[in-house]
Every structure is written in structure tokens, then in C-alpha cells.
Amino acid sequence: MSAPTSAEAATPAWDRADPEAAIAEAAARCSNWGRWGPDDVHGTLNHLTPEMRVRAARLVRRGVTFSLAQAFDMDGPQKGWRRRTNPVHTMLDTGVDAERGNQGFPHGIGGADDVIAMPLQCSTQWDGLGHIFDHGRAWNGRRAGDVVTSEGDLVTGIQTAAAQLCGRGVLLDVGRVVGEDGELPDGFAITTEHLERTIAAQGATSHVGTGDLLLVRTGRLARARREGWGDYAGGASPGFSFGTAGWLHGTEVAAVATDTWGFEVRPNEFDVAFQPLHQVVIPNVGLYLGEMWDLDALAADCAATGVFEFLLTASPLPITGAVGSPINPIALL
């Protein structure tokens, strides 16, 4: 198979020179404002019910687990763009301190302690509902300034989702099905047709529907590991096409995550734009987005067994008022 290009997709039904109009149209068409009441803080997580979690738990057959997190260390992908840095891990107490007896503990006991400083979205993470605004409006139509202040997200802080993100995970390995050698090239826009083609190729266990936690592998992380981080954080990348907003809304997925830095295709599909799909799906659809997930080992197992569904736990840290959170997602098969 030859390497696909974004030109293979149908001609976009929007004017590349007018992102403002395209975003406004998609936002109006896909809006979930008011759907779960004026006080809602969960957005599309409302699609994921207790009954769905019970069914998801039954997907665990082999007891095999996969961590879907990248490492949180100084060798990560960040290089300062948007003031994001890699984690800085510092030891407060060490074995050296214990050996020298300078910790002040009785009867010879010693210990180690450490601290970490990092942006909350520097590695595998969720974008919360307070992360992106549309013309000064946050999720459910609230004024952005009433939601996120210097004190944090006072309404939809990431802690509101601490117990919600557990359910049926489904992997669409678009890189393997559509790409060459398991990867999509940078700038490749994943369209609805590519998603549906992948579902058809993978079979019944990859159907996508209400309440699912959708994972999409592009192969971008595998390339970064092979060639070096380069511009992985903020640079060109395969990703979701702007035209998938309606599909994401219509399938009623609870959340979606990818192995890329920014979820959507980069460069974006307009002459001048920055993350226009984020502007539609977070504040208007109410959709949680996961980025920089490590899906390679899980994808290999799914390809070997032909099973692409599993129990997924991906809870954010309950950091009061945060608009995003690092996570260690676990897929259980």
C-alpha cells in the first residue's frame, strides 16, 4: 500500500480561508449546550452510564493489562512551546541521607521522599472542559471568565471527572489499517471515512457507540521514538480532520484520545488557524480529549487477538480547579 495523503479524503465542505464561519457552523450543528441541564459539568461523560461500566467489566477475559502512558521524565517531548516543559523530578530524602543518619528518625529507620514539578499537560493527559473556549464561552454556554479565573476552573475543574472515566475502551488503529508500515504521515487528516474503514477492517469488536472511550492510534508516537522527539510537541502530525466533528458528536462517545500531541491534524486544515476542532468539541460538544497516549503495545495485542475492545480506566488526578491532568490509563483485556 502506498502512503496515504490527506488529498485522498473528500474535498472539505468548508472554505479554507474562512475558519471563523466553519467553526461557527460546526459549533451550532454539534452543540450539546443545555442537553443535560444548565448546571451540567460532565459534558459527554453523561453518555457513560453505570450499566455500560458493568458491561465493560465483562470484557476482561485474560487478565492482561497495558499502561497507555508515556514516561513522565526529563526525556519527554516538551521543549518549551506554550511554556510547557518536561517533568522535573527531585529527591528530598535519599539512601545517602539514611546511611549518614541525618534524617532524624529513631532506631535506624530511614527513607526516601521526592517531589515533581511539571505542567499538567506535558505528557499523557486529559484536556478538561475548561481548557478551551469559543468566543469567550466555555462548556454549556457559560462565560469563560466565570468559569476559569486565577483560582482555577471554578465550575468544570478536572476533579469533577475523577470517578467518571472508566468504561468500554475501543481502539481504532487507523495507522495500521490506512497507513503504510503502521503509521500515518504528518499532515494526514483522518476523516470519517478513514474511521469507518478501520471499524470495518477490524471487525465487530471495534464498533463505536454511545458511552465509549475511543482511542485512535496514528503511529506518530512510534515514529517519534524511532527518529527522536523533533517537533512532536506542537509540530506537524496526523490527526482528526475538522470534518469529523459531526461524527464525534453523532456517535455519542464519552471521550477520545490519540497518540499525538494535539488530537487533530497539524497543520490544521485552514490557511490560518490554531486547533479549530478543539474549539468545536470541547466547549460546544463537551468532549474530553486525551493526548500523547502510548497505544503501540495495546495495538499489537489487539491485532494479534482480533479483539479491539477492553475495560479502560483513565481517571484524572482530582486536582481542584485544574483544566487538565496527567494520567496513567490502564487497558484491561
Q: For residue 323, give the nearest of 166, 30, 134, 119 by alpha carbon.
A: 119
251 close to 243: Cβ distance less than 8 angstroms: no
Q: For residue 214, give the nearest of 277, 140, 327, 308 by alpha carbon.
A: 308
Bridge-based pairing state of the strands 65-67 and 330-332: antiparallel
Count of beta carbons in the 10 Å neighbourhood of residue 98: 16
CATH superfamily of the domain spanning 14-79+120-332: Putative cyclase (3.50.30.50)
Q: For residue 81, give the nearest of 227, 259, 262, 221 by alpha carbon.
A: 262
Pairwise CA distance, residues 82 & 263, whole Å: 16
Q: 325: phi > 0 → left, psi -120 to 50 → alpha, else beta; which?
A: beta
Looking up cell 490527526 gives: 239
Fill in the DSSP letter of residue 283: I
What is the pTM for the complete model shown?
0.95
Task: Give me the tens of pLDDT residue by residue for the chain, a chain 333 residues long.
Answer: 334 433 333 446 899 999 999 999 999 999 999 999 999 999 999 999 999 999 999 999 999 999 999 999 999 999 998 899 999 999 999 999 999 999 999 999 999 999 999 999 999 999 999 999 999 999 999 999 999 999 999 999 999 999 999 999 999 999 999 999 999 999 999 999 999 999 999 999 999 999 999 999 999 999 999 999 999 999 999 999 999 999 999 999 999 999 999 999 999 999 999 999 999 999 999 999 999 999 999 999 999 999 999 999 999 999 999 999 999 999 999
Count of beta carbons in the 10 Å neighbourhood of residue 270: 19
Domain ranges (residues) in the chain: 14-79+120-332, 88-117
